[in-house]
Structure 1
């Protein structure tokens, strides 16, 4: 067992797609000797002094099924949690255990509920297996809501509204990163608990559909939700030729709106084929930290890299 992270800037990343790659390519494994197609590995997490990594269950809309979700959960347990450096995060006590023992917490999320096929019993079973965050959509429409690329730009369906209520009852964190703006506001009107955008940037700087308007960012700040700045290059710059300084500008923008205590990181590693220059895997995030230190006080950098996310999780996850 390694020592607890000694860096004043340990990292939390609220979104990666390793499980999708493991699902699509059965020959891959979650280890330090894996194919170069894997961005997030245990060694890179350790090198970045990651204290928590969120692993998203994702299947393409064409392959979405209950079986694919179950297989993804099995991969999470069999390939990720079997690694001695990883620790399943179900509740606040698990976060403390990981941090106190130098482990990386592994939080399970669901990116798009297409494969649930409206089955709330399955949602409850997934919760018992560790699911703690859910995004209603990916980019297109499903039985629960419209995604940001759906032409009609609708909101939640009636069953989607019921699903939101069940997530609230269970204590599952809701994620709006792929939801339409109409769906965002409908969800905001329904929920009592704060929600997150796990991997989205500022639309004022890059007008991609997946980014958030200033009004959305301010709404998340007002409810003490969280905004995970992402490294998808075409969410960072319209031409996709993004640098770490461009990522920093999104962080500065949200902080300038009053969101320094609501910012976190949501890389989307393993869900992208293009990269921000010099930002290709978790160990590279140290370069972003170094740039943040040039413009923010040390405490603000600590908040963005981990403290904001950890504080949110300890408030929103079950006590035990």
Structure 2
């Protein structure tokens, strides 16, 4: 079975002492070898801390959640870990489109939150490091864009517009998971390439700040992008595998099956949906969407990768 997962926190969890190579918690390189898999491997260069923002995040996700500040050192450490996996032939970093179709576990490096970038020209450095997916925000605003937690959803700034335009030019996918509504609509209006929301769900099914409403979904669809349905239990109508299936079917049946994908957020979540405890359960998910499994689990995300990387 071919599988693209639009968001997994391998490097961050490795820093927390979790065995992401041979382990059996949510996901690991060993488990991913069960598939012909490509993982959007998150770089989450944030320092955890407790403060007033932690209270807001805890209320949002329903479990104790620390707020964060970004760190260039953590960015480098996580990139180094992925390159270690590559050197050891445990996984292959995607450097070009040909690598997407290579054998074994593939990693498409993905920066979650643009805070570590000093200005939009730092994208040239990301390009050299083969970081081909860029999340504009995490759960707080930055100088490029407003987040889903924004108290004043200002959308893209002037610097943010330049970031999107240069990302299009360099073949870096723009990821709107965690973005505010105004940011989603602004990016969709100026991007010349398909965009994604790598790990999110649907407001129509569960009213949650991390979820997308129909206007946001439609805006992403108009770019020929994809929405990655996630396993974050607080964002699901039902905290089970059926909740995931319902979200997938909502996008597929309401907006088109070519616009829905999977972005589990495995190794970045404390709790998993019932009967969807780890990446091996994707096989059960595939049975539930039989007839559309190839689109959802590979073809749709592959199209977005191809249209962005071919520049």
Scaled to the shorter chain, the TM-score interval is 0.7 to 0.9
Report what 1:51 is aligned to. Answer: 37
Q: Deviations over 1:221-246 (max 9, x none)?
A: 22211111111111112xxx511111
Report what 2:93 is aligned to. Answer: 88
Report what 1:111 is aligned to. Answer: 112
Pairs aligned (count): 291
List gaps (5 residues or longer) in structure 2: 47-66
Distance 1:179 1:311 in 2: 22
Deviation at 1:130, TM superposition (A): 0.9
Distance 1:154 1:140 in 2: 12
Report what 1:17 is aligned to. Answer: 9
Equivalent positions of 1:257-272 (< 5 A) are 257-272=254-269
Report what 2:298 is aligned to. Answer: 306
Distance 2:216 2:124 in 1: 29
For the residue of structure 2 that corresponds to 1:198, the secondary structure is: strand
Report what 2:78 is aligned to. Answer: 72
Report what 2:174 is aligned to. Answer: 174
Q: Give yes or no for the alignment of 1:219 onto 2:219.
A: yes
Report what 2:285 is aligned to. Answer: 288
Equivalent positions of 1:268-279 (< 5 A) are 268-279=265-276
Q: Deviations over 1:24-61 (max 9, x none)?
A: x2x444321x4x6x5321121012x1421110111336
Q: Which of the residues 222, 242, 246 maps onto 1:245?
A: 242
| Conserved? CA contact 2:8–2:41, under 8 Å | yes
Deviation at 1:92, TM superposition (A): 1.3
Q: Deviations over 1:255-300 (max 9, x none)?
A: 122320111110000110011002122112112112222xxx2xx2
Q: Give yes or no for the alignment of 1:39 onto 2:31.
A: no
For the residue of structure 2 that corresponds to 1:63, the secondary structure is: strand
| Conserved? CA contact 1:90–1:318, under 8 Å | no
For the residue of structure 1 that corresponds to 2:33, the secondary structure is: helix
| Conserved? CA contact 2:120–2:166, under 8 Å | no
Distance 2:200 2:178 in 1: 9
Report what 2:309 is aligned to. Answer: 317
For the residue of structure 1 that corresponds to 2:143, the secondary structure is: coil
| Conserved? CA contact 1:226–1:264, under 8 Å | yes
Q: What is the TM-score with the length of structure 1 in the denominator?
A: 0.86
| Conserved? CA contact 1:90–1:317, under 8 Å | no
Decide whether aligned partners of structure 1 residues 189 and 133 sit closer, same or farther in structure 2, where only a CA change above 3 A counts.
same
Deviation at 1:119, TM superposition (A): 6.0
For the residue of structure 1 that corresponds to 2:45, the secondary structure is: coil
